Structure 1
Amino acid sequence: MIRTFIFFLAVVGLTAAPETGKVVSLSTDGMAKIVHSDGSTNFLRRFSEGDRKVGWIGRTVRYEVVTEATETQARGIVSADAEELRRVAEVTDTLRRETVDKGRMVSRMPNELMPNMALWDQSGRLVMKKDFLGHPLALNFVFTSCRVARMCPASTSSMKRLGDALAKLPGAANVRLLTITFDPETDSPGVLRTYADGYGIDHERHRFLTGDAGQIKDLMSHYGIQTLRDDGTIVHNAALIVISPEGRITYRSEGASFDAEDVAARLLKLSGTAGTKSR
């Protein structure tokens, strides 16, 4: 994520340098006070609108310092918490071994268990597979800079309609939606927060996830998502995967768009409240 960002800044003529520190305060105008990792220096860095909404206060973070004219900004903010990074590395390594062992049979089929994961959501929280067990899930993949209307924008719009349909069903309070970026080098938690806000997403029900690029690449393989970088963008297929509260894949819909009412009914059935009427 950092390397790609530095290259972009060089192209547009901005200066950047990496920093790590603990966020101790954040003013209403977006200026964050950050204590250097060794405690020697205090920095004032401007956070984007999305990062202001992420729960970074009190957290150790890594970011790029971008100087543009007289303003110093922190961009591409990600967690640098040692324990979180250890947990992510552990899951990433295990998933890599599983991916290699499965070879060409890596894509998981209906009734197989979902793979493990350790990723950060749009609120900066580290979430893992275990956090979603007990919840029916609908999962898809997008990247926020996608400009092909029939792909990621259509996929996210369908997920928004699904969330709206579920909100009308009293028995669907337990259902969760997950969207994983396949461009983690660009899509930091703050970027995902801004993207989700743009669609009016319910942040408690619908998590947007980012993190280790290698882990996400392996997750894509397990869920049958393929990508190819071409002419400055990412060409990819799309699918919606429905997962039971026990963590088993139960249904897959190919394509970016899907019938939100049909998927809501499937999720409601998995939650054990299929007979519940909408308000």
Structure 2
Amino acid sequence: MKRALFAGMLSLFALTGCRWKAEKLPYLGEPEKITKVVDGKQVDELVYPTIPAFQFISQDSVPITEKSFDGKIYVADFFFVTCPTICPIMKKNMLNVYEAFKGAEDVRILSHTIDPSHDTPAVLKQYAKDLGITGPMWQFATGDREKIYDIGENHYLVTAGADSTAPGGYIHSGAFVLIDKEKHIRGQYDGTTEAGTNKLIADIKRLRDEYKND
């Protein structure tokens, strides 16, 4: 009897474990319903938005585009070098993400400055050096101010812009945004907290497992 009960518990645990592994991270954003024909029948499908084409300039003074992240999972955020409030803690937490996946070919980080007039490629290069960043994993992007604000507000779904009443003259979200290899948003995390950062690291691992198991 005990042996049968134990075997049943093992089976239940195995089934539960399989279901847990099969769970996927959600897709964020407002989906569009499209109708397509499958096996001669019309079916409705929800299509979630993706990060559109973009072009900025990296800390290495070279163009950085959406194609730079083809086949990559990446984390996006917004900041400015002279930020007197949340940016230092965000970058400290992002360093934990960087260290967790340093050397991984399929994981990248993209930090957009919202003060491009000050944060030139040379300034961003020094900023990355001061953080101890080497190699291509963590990219810092500057460029056209309005395009940076637009991609933040309308595509990454975070706050990013100038605000004369805010400390430092700019306002931005403290969110870390997780993007999958198809450019879908799969999560947003509080980059100002250790708990939010740890959840992001865990979800990057889950997302990598999704691709391994597909």
What does residue 172 of structure 2 align with? 236
The residue aligned with 1:191 is: 123
Preserved contact between residue 75 and residue 178 of structure 2 (Cα < 8 Å): yes
Query: Are the aligned partners of 2:189 and 2:199 in contact in 1 as well (CA < 8 Å)?
Result: no
Shift of 1:235: 3.3
- Within a 5 Å distance, the mapping from 1:30-41 to structure 2 comes to none
For normalisation by structure 2, the TM-score amounts to 0.68
| Inter-partner Cα distance in structure 2 for 1:252 and 1:267 | 12
Change beyond 3 A, Cα 1:185–1:266: same
Q: Which amino acid aligns with 2:95?
A: K
Q: Secondary structure at the match of 1:220?
A: helix
1:164 aligns with 2:99: yes
Aligned CA distance change for structure 1 residues 213 and 245 (closer, same or farther; 3 Å): same
Contact between 1:119 and 1:127, CA under 8 Å: does it hold in 2? yes
1:225 aligns with 2:159: yes
For the residue of structure 1 that corresponds to 2:117, the secondary structure is: coil
Distance 1:232 1:163 in 2: 26
Q: Is the 2:83–2:168 contact (alpha carbons within 8 Å) kept by the matching residues of 1?
A: no
The equivalent residue for 1:180 is 112
CA contact (8 A) 2:84 2:168 kept: no
Number of residue pairs matched? 164
Determine which of 136, 146, 152 is the counterpart of 2:83.
146
Q: Would the alpha carbon gap of residues 232 and 263 (structure 1) be closer, same or farther in structure 2, given more than 3 Å must change?
A: closer
Partner secondary structure for residue 170 of structure 2: strand
CA contact (8 A) 1:163 1:202 kept: no
Whole-Å separation in 1 of the counterparts to 2:168 and 2:72: 37
- 1:172-204 C-alpha deviation (Å, 9 max, x unpaired): 431001100011111011100111111112341
Query: Relative contact order: is structure 1 or structure 2 higher (C-alpha 8 Å, sep ≥ 6)?
Result: 2
Supply the distance in 2 between the matched residues of 1:239 and 1:153 (Cα, whole angstroms). Answer: 13
Q: Report the structure, 1 or 2, having the larger helix content.
A: 2
2:90 to 155, 167, 170: 155
One-letter amino acid of the counterpart of residue 249, structure 1: I
Matches of 2:144 and 2:136, distance apart in 1: 23
Q: Which amino acid is the alignment partner of residue 200 of structure 2?
A: V
- Select the residue among 180, 186, 210 that pairs with 1:250: 186
The residue type equivalent to 1:134 in the other structure is G
Question: What is the TM-score of this pair, normalised by structure 1?
Answer: 0.53
Asked if the contact 2:78–2:160 (Cα under 8 Å) also holds between the matched residues in 1, the reply is no
Task: Name the % identity.
Answer: 27
Aligned CA RMSD, in angstroms, stands at 2.4
Asked if the contact 1:238–1:255 (Cα under 8 Å) also holds between the matched residues in 2, the reply is yes
Per mean C-alpha deviation after superposition, the further-off stretch among 128-137 and 253-262 is 253-262
Tell me how far apart the structure 2 counterparts of residues 112 and 162 of structure 1 sit (CA, whole Å).
25
Structure 2: tracts of 5 or more residues without a match:
1-27, 32-47
1:207 counterpart SS class:
strand
Q: CA deviation at 1:109?
A: 5.1
Q: Which amino acid aligns with 2:93?
A: S
Amino acid at match of 1:209: A
Cα distance, 1:108 vs structure 2: 4.4
